Structure 1
C-alpha cells in the first residue's frame, strides 16, 4: 500500500491535471512547462520533512516515492507524449516513462518501497553485494541527497545512474536490476542529460519548507550540511 503522503500527493496531482469530464483530451505537443510542473511537484514533496525517514530500514522510501511520483506525473500530463521530441521540447517522454517503470517495479519487488511487492525478489540482505544491498545503498544515498535544501530533482537521477554503475563495478556484478540497454540511436536521449545540457536543471527553492527542514535537522542532530 502507498504511504498516506504519497496517496495525498497523487490525488492532488490528478486533481490538478485531470481532464474535465466530457471534454475531449487535447493533443497539443508537450512543452517545457509540463516538465517543469512535474519537477516543482517533486521538489515540494521531497523537500517536505514529513516525507523523510531517518531509520536505516526506511530511509530508502523517499527515493522510491520520488521515482513513483515522477512516473505518475509523466503519465498524467495533459499533452501528447507520443508527439515528442520536437524542436521546442526535445524530450522523448514515452521513452522516459519506459525507463522509469521497470526500475520502480524492481525496487518494489525488492521490498524497498512502501508498496507491497507483487513478485518478491529473493535477495540475501546480509550479502553487501546482493541485488538488494546494492540497490538499497544507492537509494539511501539518493534519499539523503534529496533532503538537502539545495538538491535538484534532475541531478538526483544523474547521481542515481552513477551510483548504480559504481556499486555494480565495486561488486563486479551484472546489473540485473537495471533497464535493458537502449538502442544505439536512443542512447543520447537520456532525459536528465538533455535537461542538464540545455540549462534547465535548476534549483527549485521553496522558502516555506526551509524552517521545517531546519527543525527536522535539529530534532535528528543533523547539521545544515548533512545532506549537502
Structure 2
C-alpha cells in the first residue's frame, strides 16, 4: 500500500513539474530588479565588512532563482542553461564565502595562512571587496558585477599560481548581455540616491568613490 501511494505521489510530482512553463527573460528580470534595489540601498552597505554586500548579493540571486515559479529542469528562454545548472554554478562560491566569514564578518572556519597574500582567502576577499564597491555605484548593473567577477577571481588566482576552473561556453551573464538584457534599472527621482549622498558624507567618501 505504501509503495502504491509513493508511486502515485511521484507521478503527481512529475506531472506537476512537467506542467510548469518555461522560465523566461521576464522571470530573470524580476531577480535583477530585486538585486538592484538591494545593492543600491546604503542601508545594506558597510565600510567595516565590505565583503558582506557581495556575498549577500550572490546569496539573494541564488534564492531568487531557486524560487522562480517555472520549470527549473529545461533551458531558460533564449539561453542554453537550466535554472538547476545555474544554481549549481553559484552554490560553490557561496559555500566558500560563508566558510571564510565574508557573509557576516566573522572569523574563517577553514584554515587560512594570513601571512600569505596569495592564500585563496585573500583572492576571494580582494575580489569580493572590489565587487562590493562596484555594486555601490549608482549606475552598477547587477549582471555586469558577475561579468567582472570571473576575470577578477581568475586573474588573481593565475597571478598567485592557484588552480582556476572556467566552465566551458558562455556564462549566463554573458548571454544576458548578448540578449540585450543586461540593463540599468534607474529612476532619478528615487529617494535612495539622496541616501547614497548622505552615506558618502557620513563616511568621508568622495562623490566618485562608488561611481
Note whether the superposition's TM-score is higher than 0.5. yes
Q: Does 1:222 align with 2:172?
A: no
The aligned runs of 1:41-56 (5 Å cut-off) are 41-55=34-48
Q: Does 1:172 align with 2:165?
A: no
> Given that residues 38 and 44 in structure 2 are in contact (C-alpha distance below 8 angstroms), is that contact kept between their aligned partners in structure 1?
yes
Gaps of 5+ in 1: 1-23
- CA positional deviation for 1:109: 0.9
Residue of structure 2 equivalent to 1:16: none
Q: Does 1:61 align with 2:67?
A: no
- CA positional deviation for 1:116: 7.2
Q: Can you list the C-alpha shifts for 1:66-112, whole angstroms capped at 9, x where unaligned?
A: 000000000000111212134x4554322111100011001111121
- CA positional deviation for 1:115: 8.3
Q: 2:28 aligns with which of 32, 35, 50?
A: 35
What value does the CA root-mean-square deviation take over the aligned residues? 2.0
Residue of structure 1 equivalent to 2:138: 149
> Given that residues 92 and 189 in structure 1 are in contact (C-alpha distance below 8 angstroms), is that contact kept between their aligned partners in structure 2?
no
Residue of structure 2 equivalent to 1:78: 69
Query: Aligned pair in 2 of structure 1 residues 115, 144: CA closer, same or farther (>3 Å)?
Result: closer
TM-score (norm 2): 0.84
Residue of structure 2 equivalent to 1:204: 185
Residue of structure 2 equivalent to 1:108: 98
> Given that residues 138 and 163 in structure 1 are in contact (C-alpha distance below 8 angstroms), is that contact kept between their aligned partners in structure 2?
yes
Where 1:126 maps in the other structure, the secondary structure is coil
2:131, 2:94 → 1: CA distance? Answer: 14
TM-score (norm 1): 0.78
Q: 2:128 aligns with which of 139, 146, 149?
A: 139
Q: Between Structure 1 and Structure 2, whose CA radius of gyration is higher? A: 2
More helix by share: 2
2:142, 2:193 → 1: CA distance? Answer: 17
1:204, 1:188 → 2: CA distance? Answer: 27
Query: Aligned pair in 2 of structure 1 residues 99, 89: CA closer, same or farther (>3 Å)?
Result: closer
Instruction: Name the count of aligned residue pairs.
Output: 193
Gaps of 5+ in 2: 1-15
